[in-house]
Chain A
Amino acid sequence: MFSGFMVNAWIVATLVAIVGAAVGFFVVMRGSAFVAHAVPNGSFAGAAGASLIGVNAILGLGVFSVAGALGIGLLGRRGRHDVATALTLVFMLGLGALFLSFNTEYGPQVYSLLFGEVLGISNNQLWPTLALTLVCLTALAMLWRPLLLASVMPSSARGLDPFKLELCFLLLVALATAMTVPVVGTALIFSLMIGPAAAARAFTVRPHIALALAVAIALVIVWTAIASSYASNWPVGFFVGVLSASAYTVGRVWSWSRRRGALS
């Protein structure tokens, strides 16, 4: 499990958990779970397209997740936000289906792209992932105060253009997508974003502690998922999805029992 080719997987997975949970913290604060689902899921088309023309999957994922984020941001400005998100998502997935049908050799890879694969991480993905991690964390640190303020009380965030902030946030989700997808898969990455962060918020209301806790929970989830996937050969996404939902359930039960304790 810790042999040479798995070292990459462990390093990348650790970075993925940190960035996923940190971005997810704001996804939960802003209540934009749908966007966090749509951007990574739609970027599937990018990976399929990249494979078609033979470039690095991260590039394709990056281009399509940014395009999707911009599409959602711009369409959502004039129409209903959830409708715009849904239609952007299905259009990108439709494109993915088209690319897929062009490429006959691509078949088996669909699966690992959608639902993740531990062995899918090669050496040439290590450095781009590391670079994207640094970019994401720097951007997050810079946007920390305005995002937090706008998420907690939108009316108080004076002097901030909500549309610009929303776009920045969407781009952040897009960047996180491009780097996290190869491990967990496009379908389940949002689960890793919202599960740990939602669970952490059940335990504490203080933002810094909640963020740290979310990262810790995400690390446990990803490490467990990779170890289980390695042992059973089942898809990583399955373990991530189920463990994230379990973490959330534990958080809900905890806050529910605390409330009952406070009342009695």
Chain B
Amino acid sequence: MSHVLHALIEPGFFSSSPVRLALAIGGLVAIVAAVVGVFTVIRGQAFAGEALGDIGASGGASAYLAGVPALLGFVGFSVAAAGAMELIGIQRVRGRDLATGIVLGAGFGIAALLLYLGTTYDNTSGATVTILFGAIFDLTSSELPLVLGFGLLVLATLTALYRPLMLASISPELAAARGVPVRLVGAAYLISMAIAVALSAVTIGAILSTALLVGPAAAALRLTTRPGRAIATAAAIGVASTWLGVLLAYDSYDWTASHKAWPPSFFIVTVVLAVYLVAGRFCQSGRRGRGLSA
């Protein structure tokens, strides 16, 4: 039995402090991203999530240049980008992708410049790779309170807005007829999504951050169409994928002769995609066509 366990989990996994921190922050982030993601998928805003994550890279780069925690940069730039998207009319479905794309292009261009400046600043490309693809084992415990604070803020916002937001996501017309301020609720949601994507960027990197936002939520919505249950399932899938990814990355140290661990972000993203595909196998029987299925 212990042999099997050793083969699955390398010795020292639970006693290593970077691993513990990665599991704690990774799990926390996965829950927040998955809960927010359920609404993202229902509202069909995956592209907006992707764009906010990519633009967050400029935030990560400027935080690096300024010497402040990367999370603050991610959050600052993502929220600003959410504001810009709101301003040029992301709420209208027609032409929405185009507006998102234009903001994304401009933001990504600025990220290119800032990362370039960061690279010439200390002559390594390490920061570029960390910002874009994440480095979950390099997190420090000083980031935990920040992650916790932003995470709770997002969850509190969504709890407060739960009913109007869900109604506005499923049927904007019905919500408007009932007096829900659809535009305002949408804007508040967009900002929550920006923060969730920024949190996700800290663990798996800016350009991969959509994986935790959209993947677990889409898989959960394939398994159930009940909103409450979908949110709980998505959070569970998100945490399990992150933890499994961290475990595999830790184990991969011994997979090749060169003893070089594979990137955790790769494993997390792969597990998320695999869960989504497997969930697709189960979705046909349970589909009820209420507009929630992913």
A36 touching B266 by the CB < 8 A rule? no
Chain B residues contacting A110 (CB-CB under 8 Å) are 125, 128-129
B116 touches A86 (CB 8 A): no
B112-A86 in contact (CB<8A): no
Give Cα A115–Cα B115 distance, bound, in whole angstroms: 10
Which A residues lie within 8 Å of B110 (CB)?
A: 238, 241-242
Docked CA distance A85–B276 (Å): 13
Within 8 Å by CB of A198, from B102, B119, B132, lies B102
A153 to chain B, nearest CB (A): 15
Interface residues on A, range: 35 or more
Q: A80-B218, A101-B262 are in contact. Are A107 and B270 (CB under 8 A)?
A: no
Contact of B50 with A34 in the complex, beta carbons under 8 Å: yes
- Cβ B112 vs Cβ A34 within 8 A: no
B163 within 8 A of A: no
Q: Which stretch, A12-20, A127-135, A138-146, A183-191, touches the partner chain B?
A: A183-191
> Quick check: A32 and B97 within 8 Å, CB to CB?
yes
In the complex, chain B residues whose CB is within 8 Å of the CB of A242: 106, 109-110
Q: Mark A36-59, 1 if CB is under 8 A from B, else 0.
A: 111001000000000000000000
Contact at A83–B125, with CB atoms within 8 Å?
no
Q: Is B265 in contact with chain A by the CB < 8 A criterion? A: yes
Residue B101 CB within 8 A of the other chain: yes
CA distance A110 to B125 in the complex (A): 8
Query: Which residues in B have their C-beta under 8 angstroms from that of A93?
Result: 133, 207-208, 269
The residue that B222 contacts in the complex, of A33, A79, A116, A198, with Cβ under 8 A, is: A79
Which of B116, B265, B273 lies in contact with A238, CB distance below 8 A?
A: B116
Task: Find B50's partner among A37, A191, A194, A235 (CB 8 Å cutoff).
Answer: A37
The A contact surface, by secondary structure, is helix
Contact B266 A98 (CB under 8 A): yes
CA distance A102 to B259 in the complex (A): 11
In the complex the two chains form, what is the Cα distance from A100 to B125 in whole Å? 12
- Interchain Cβ contacts within 8 Å, total number: 188
A254 to chain B, nearest CB (A): 15
List A contacts of B104 (CB < 8 A): 37, 191
Residue of B nearest to A104 (CB): B260
A38 to B46, CA, bound (A): 12
Q: Is A108 an interface residue (CB 8 A)?
A: yes
When each residue 246-264 of chain A gets 1 if its CB lies under 8 Å from chain B and 0 otherwise, what string results? Answer: 0010000000000000000
- The residues of B that contact A191 with a CB separation of less than 8 Å are 101-102, 104-106, 108-109
Provide the residues of chain B in CB contact with A115, threshold 8 Å. Answer: 112, 115-116
Q: Is the pair A111, B269 in contact by a Cβ cutoff of 8 Å? A: no
Which A residues touch B50, using CB under 8 A? Answer: 34, 37-38, 86, 89
CA distance A71 to B10 in the complex (A): 34
Between A95, A194, A239, the greatest number of chain B beta carbons within 10 A of the residue's beta carbon is seen for A194
Q: A37-B50, A86-B210, A87-B276 are in contact. Are A195 and B105 (CB under 8 A)?
A: yes
Across-interface contacts of B113 in A (CB, < 8 A): 234-235, 238
B101's partner among A37, A79, A111 (CB-CB below 8 A) is A37
Where chain B touches its partner, the secondary structure class is: helix
Q: Are B270 and A85 in contact (CB under 8 A)?
A: no
Chain B positions 19 through 55: 1 when the CB is less than 8 Å from some CB of chain A, otherwise 0: 0000000000000000000000100111101100010
Contact mask B233-259 → A, CB, 8 Å, 1/0? 000000000000000000000000000
Q: Closest CB of chain B to A35's CB: distance in Å?
A: 9
Residue contact B270 to A91, C-beta cutoff 8 Å: yes
Contact assessment for B210 and A31 in the assembled complex, using a CB-CB cutoff below 8 Å: no
Chain A residues, CB < 8 A from B78: none
Expressed in whole angstroms, the Cα–Cα distance for A119 and B263 within the complex equals 30
- B224 CB-CB contact with A under 8 Å: no
Is A150 positioned at the interface, with any CB of B under 8 Å from its CB? no
Contact A188 B108 (CB under 8 A): yes
Kindly identify, within residues 228 to 249 of chain A, every residue whose CB is under 8 Å from any CB belonging to chain B. 234-235, 237-242, 244-245, 248
Of all chain B residues, which has the CB nearest A193? B101
Contacts of A235 in B (CB 8 A): 112-113, 116
Report 7 cross-chain contacts, Cβ distance below 8 Å, ordered by A residue. A33-B100, A87-B211, A93-B269, A94-B263, A100-B263, A191-B109, A235-B116
Binding site for A on B (CB under 8 A): 41, 44-47, 49-50, 54, 95, 97-98, 100-113, 115-116, 119, 124-126, 128-129, 132-133, 205, 207-208, 210-211, 214-215, 218, 222, 260, 262-263, 265-266, 268-270, 272-273, 276, 280, 294
Would you list the 5 A-B pairs with minimal beta carbon distance, nearest first?
A241-B109, A191-B105, A94-B269, A33-B101, A245-B106
> In the complex, given contacts A101-B266, A240-B109, what are 14 additional A-B residue pairs having Cβ atoms less than 8 angstroms apart?
A79-B280, A87-B218, A89-B50, A90-B210, A94-B266, A94-B268, A94-B269, A96-B133, A115-B115, A116-B112, A191-B104, A194-B102, A238-B112, A244-B102
Give A contacts to B, CB under 8 Å.
28, 31-34, 36-38, 41, 78-80, 82-83, 85-87, 89-91, 93-98, 100-102, 107-108, 110-111, 114-116, 185, 187-188, 190-191, 194-195, 198, 234-235, 237-242, 244-245, 248
